[in-house]
Structure 1
Amino acid sequence: MVVGTQGDGMVDVAIIGAGPAGLTSGYLLTKAGLRVAIIEKDERYVGGISRTVEHEGYRFDIGGHRFFSKSQQVVDLWNEILPDDFIQRPRMSRIYYESKFYSYPLRAFEALRNLGIWRSTTCMVSYVWSRLFPIKDVRSFEDWTSNQFGKKLYSIFFKTYTEKVWGMPCNEMSADWAAQRIKGLSLWGAVVDGLKRSLGLNKRPNDGMATKTLLESFRYPRLGPGMMWEAARDKIIATGKGDVLMGHALKQLAQDAQGNWRMTATHAQGETVITARHVISSAPMRELASRIHPLPDSLPQATELKYRDFLTVALKIRKGDLFPDNWIYIHDSKVQVGRIQNFRSWSPEMVPDADVACVGLEYFCFEGDGLWSQPDDDLIHLATREMVTLGLIQPHEVIGGAVVRQEKAYPVYDETYAANVAAMRVDLEARFPTLHLVGRNGMHRYNNQDHAMMTAMLTVENIKAGERLYDTWCVNEDAEYHEAGDEGDEKVLAAREAAAQRAVTPDQAAALNSLRDVPTRLPAETETAQTADRAAA
């Protein structure tokens, strides 16, 4: 099968992956009159990690996706694609630790009260010690977080959960992760805010943020985030300019002598060949590198990139809602679960039975390990036992369940990721100017949904212009549960230096400097100050 309906049998752009970045690209390109073909290896769902899975009328959000963005362009695009199906939902997230709930972000006085006098005292002493005698050579997540909060609070509120998520010791994780994701969260700021509130001098939420307040509500598609991406897919197809090929996995990508791309995808009936002038890839960097022909020089670095996978065990429970939170972080070493979502708190329409609560227990793992490979029934029994261990339910209340696996959910920020990404970027941008990397896995960056969309939006502008007007690697990285400020208060996302430009070899640094010399004519509204509020995940 050959895809391409233009006179020369070629599409303008071939897109790998029908997630937020891929579908945003396809929607904007077809809207501009260009012909696109999108391949997606999932046979049923579009949206990638932002898809919504349906089982017996119950809908599951894979990972939890609040629709909030500081970019007015992203907000406008959401409204354009899905104009009539957003609802406003209250925002609430907490930490569960030793049978008690703690607000997240931490509220200093609440946390110290729950911990008790003795433990609170040791936490404050540890914090003061960290300010007086900080670790000088900060290399790891543990170093950075211990300096910021003290060793004791780090061990209580960061270590257990973070190691569950990443499957590696915190002292082996790059300090980049903490600096990017929890920068701006200040224990001292939280204490000062708490004192002001106790005196009636401050009414805003005590979240420890120095400059911004935490949003208290967010918009959400009434049937889950997949509703957005299903609508985008349908609009792409309706233009007559786009094909969305489900169940198609990338096999090989090669250029001919004229610089046009030949993309081969495998599916149940055989192979599909797509010829295109440009390729947009949201596929994981490691997978893309191994499928480009001839193999890129940066393949050794690409193969070193790591990913963390996870699975959701959704339980249907015969009782009223268990808790009001969108999700709860489980900082308890007695159980393996890392986070529990309450799907009705995202949208009541995701749970069809008013007498049934539906929750999703998220387990972080590696594809192929013991947890990932367990039969679904065993995972449902495990999730039931752990809900009982946490004191949230009785075993007889569970009336059913389902398991959803998500591979390569999180690009890992280990000690070598930045140099590896930089090498891959330099190699591909120099050799293949018509190959464009977008999205979370396409760029190996922990971007939120709106940032993934912005990388696609700027890439489309580059393709339409025929030159690289915008540097997509300057798209910001905000954290999804420290969103702050007003929706759409920036025309585009704030620009900053890419994390991948750090920890590189001299040769890579020289190559990156030459790349920075390429004009990146960002509009004036792009030159906004970077927000300080970051969150760890």
Structure 2
Amino acid sequence: MTESTKTAIIAGAGPAGLTAAIEFLRKTNIHPVIYESTNDIGGISKTVCYKGNRMDIGGHRFFSKEDTVMNWWAEMMPLQEMPAKDEILLNKTNSDLTKNGINPEKEDRVMLVRQRVSRIFYLRKFFDYPISLKLETFSNMGLFRTIKAGTGYLLSTIHKRKENSLEDFYINRFGEPLYKMFFEDYTEKVWGIHPAKLGADWGSQRVKGLSLITILKDMVKKTFTSPKSIDQKQIETSLIEKFIYPKYGPGQLWETAAKEVENKSGELYKNQEIVKINIEENRVISVTTRSIEGKTETRPCDYFLSSMPIKDLVASLSGISIPEEIQSIAKKLPYRDFITVGLLVNKLRIRNKTKIKTYLERVPDTWIYIQERDVKIGRLQVFNNWSPYLVADYENTMWIGLEYFCTEGDDMWNMPKEEFIKMAIEELVKIDIIDKQDVLDAVQVKIKKAYPSYFGSYYQLDKVKAFLDKIPNLYCIGRNGQHRYNNMDHSMMTAIATVDNIKNGIISKENIWSVNTEEEYHEVKK
């Protein structure tokens, strides 16, 4: 590192922060320094390990319509189209499974090709997600609900609502009966607020053109697409069924990225919270950090990239006059927090009735949306199906994640851990997914500010953005850094765009903020 080398301080070792650091190292002479406030790597994309069982917090499909991102992942962890443990167990007599000398039990730093199966659990029955137009769907709904849903959909094609809310957005695309069956209650579980009070722009960002017409078109497209292909750019993102996945979960990729940062002379510090961003003459000149022991240090910098929540960013600015309105908007920005209960069980009560072959007739789902109104659980992950290597004893146990959406400080968040785990187990017993005696072990994991929310002061966020953009060497990247419900690839693209702007001397930050606003980026992730 020469005396003339400039320094970029990066807040957060999540996908955006780590991508930015690696891009600086690959493309520039700028020295990246990452400060991570926790002891973890990967942000919400981390992998939590508990007694040899690994949890993917929130579920992360590795798929992007951006070749830049797909190539970036491939460079970090090579794609090996090799059989995983579940495939080997299903095809014990197939000698071709270990051809070319590849032993999947010994190869670790690889991406597996996986099949996405997501379904809705409603009326104690399974429905495809997104809703399919299969005979089974209509059979599960019953004659009365089917007629009602069909009539409602036809009415929605004739009479379009003005889209003032997310409720209007869904009804325009699916009709009111289907909206009430499959979107209303679940959306309120996720956000803690009725869809009528959520903005329609959340739908336009996350749900894009998904509708019954889209589903019909997708059914036709799939007849001309190889079932083994992961190049599915012509398929609606929400309907993509193949994705790649690190053998040991998303955190494995980001831990690999963190090692590359350090191997290439970048710096990464964990358990270091950024408490003050020091500004002189309208530029960030240094950052003050505080260790877990309470020790503070100030580090000078030439650039500052923030993936920290905007409300924390604004509160940390020092040496600049911040209008009261800007402080108020940032302070009131809403977030949704997240609790996962990992359950290790002997087996599930629900069995595989799909056409997909599975080991011991287990359900093939990666995640299941729980639409039942009599439980609080929002979604159920089956980690065995993300990667069999997430489970210490794949052959004899099922490792599942019960996902709850809450707000820090509310009744669910404050519930004692053992009481919460007991409630979670009882809910799965109540809806006939497990038997209580099959539970072997359990753990609880809490995630703060998992989802930036789209209501309240969010609608004044442009004022905060305009204020922050006036600080030329400060850049907002990632999900919380932009207060936008970005997927992992979108967060990476904000970092890539930022480094490219700095390298090329581009002052405008419009292209950074515009990631995940073009329609081709959007994806449903309920």
Instruction: Indicate whether the TM-score tops 0.5.
Output: yes
Segments of 5+ residues of structure 1 without an aligned counterpart are: 478-495, 497-529
Change (3 A) 1:467 1:316: same
Aligned partner of 1:313 among 331, 334, 341: 341
SS at 1:402 equivalent: strand
Aligned partner of 1:301 among 329, 338, 356: 329
Q: Which amino acid aligns with 2:515?
A: V
Q: Tell me the CA shift for residue 277 of structure 1.
A: 0.5
Aligned partner of 1:35 among 22, 31, 36: 31
Change (3 A) 1:303 1:533: closer
SS at 2:451 equivalent: strand
Change (3 A) 1:227 1:344: same
**1:172-183 correspondence runs (5 A):** 172-183=197-208
Change (3 A) 1:204 1:156: farther
Aligned residues: 469
**1:142-181 correspondence runs (5 A):** 142-181=167-206
* Structure 1 contact 14–278 (Cα < 8 Å) conserved: yes
**1:86-235 correspondence runs (5 A):** 86-109=111-134, 110-135=136-161, 137-190=162-215, 212=235, 214-235=239-260
SS at 2:520 equivalent: coil
Matched, 1:411 2:452: yes
* Structure 2 contact 334–452 (Cα < 8 Å) conserved: yes
Matched, 1:429 2:469: yes
Match of 2:292 in 1: 268
Q: Tell me the CA shift for residue 138 of structure 1.
A: 2.1
Change (3 A) 1:402 1:161: same
Q: Which amino acid aligns with 1:312?
A: T
Q: 1:322, 1:50 → 2: CA distance?
A: 26
For residues 293-328 of structure 1, give each alpha carbon's deviation from its aligned partner in whole angstroms, at most 9, with x where no partner exists. Answer: 135332222123110011100000023685210000
- Out of 180-189 and 444-453, give the one that drifted further: 180-189
Q: Tell me the CA shift for residue 190 of structure 1.
A: 4.1
Matched, 1:19 2:14: yes
Match of 1:255 in 2: 279
Q: 2:307, 2:336 → 1: CA distance?
A: 17
Q: Tell me the CA shift for residue 99 of structure 1.
A: 0.8
Q: Which amino acid aligns with 1:166?
A: W
* Structure 1 contact 289–295 (Cα < 8 Å) conserved: no
Matched, 1:373 2:398: no
* Structure 1 contact 184–210 (Cα < 8 Å) conserved: no
Matched, 1:335 2:361: no
TM-score normalised according to structure 2 size: 0.84
Q: 2:514, 2:111 → 1: CA distance?
A: 29
Q: Tell me the CA shift for residue 132 of structure 1.
A: 2.8
Q: Which amino acid aligns with 2:133?
A: A
SS at 1:68 equivalent: coil
Matched, 1:476 2:471: no
Q: Tell me the CA shift for residue 187 of structure 1.
A: 2.0
Q: Tell me the CA shift for residue 211 of structure 1.
A: 6.6
Q: 2:123, 2:224 → 1: CA distance?
A: 29
Q: Tell me the CA shift for residue 193 of structure 1.
A: 7.4
SS at 2:275 equivalent: strand
Match of 1:493 in 2: none
Q: Tell me the CA shift for residue 150 of structure 1.
A: 1.3
Please provide the CA RMSD for this pair.
2.5
Segments of 5+ residues of structure 2 without an aligned counterpart are: 79-108, 227-231, 348-359
- Out of 293-302 and 456-465, give the one that drifted further: 293-302
Q: Which amino acid aligns with 2:54?
A: R
Q: 1:54, 1:532 → 2: CA distance?
A: 31
Q: Which amino acid aligns with 2:72?
A: L
Change (3 A) 1:122 1:210: farther
Change (3 A) 1:188 1:113: farther
Q: 2:10, 2:506 → 1: CA distance?
A: 18
Change (3 A) 1:415 1:151: farther
Change (3 A) 1:459 1:397: same
Q: 2:301, 2:317 → 1: CA distance?
A: 15
Q: Which amino acid aligns with 1:387?
A: L
Q: Tell me the CA shift for residue 125 of structure 1.
A: 1.7
Q: Tell me the CA shift for residue 85 of structure 1.
A: 1.2
Match of 1:463 in 2: 502
Aligned partner of 1:401 among 442, 446, 452: 442
Q: 2:422, 2:6 → 1: CA distance?
A: 49
Q: 2:521, 2:495 → 1: CA distance?
A: 24
Q: Tell me the CA shift for residue 415 of structure 1.
A: 5.6
For residues 270-294 of structure 1, give each alpha carbon's deviation from its aligned partner in whole angstroms, at most 9, with x where no partner exists. Answer: 1122210000000111110111113
Change (3 A) 1:210 1:154: farther
Q: 2:284, 2:165 → 1: CA distance?
A: 43
Match of 2:269 in 1: 245
Q: 1:426, 1:324 → 2: CA distance?
A: 46
Match of 2:59 in 1: 64
Q: 1:301, 1:168 → 2: CA distance?
A: 19
Q: 2:8, 2:214 → 1: CA distance?
A: 49
SS at 1:280 equivalent: strand
* Structure 1 contact 256–262 (Cα < 8 Å) conserved: no
Q: Which amino acid aligns with 2:73?
A: W
Change (3 A) 1:405 1:252: same
Match of 2:88 in 1: none
TM-score normalised according to structure 1 size: 0.82
Matched, 1:392 2:392: no
SS at 1:283 equivalent: coil
Change (3 A) 1:35 1:189: closer
- Out of 184-193 and 226-235, give the one that drifted further: 184-193
Match of 1:535 in 2: 524
- Out of 86-95 and 458-467, give the one that drifted further: 458-467
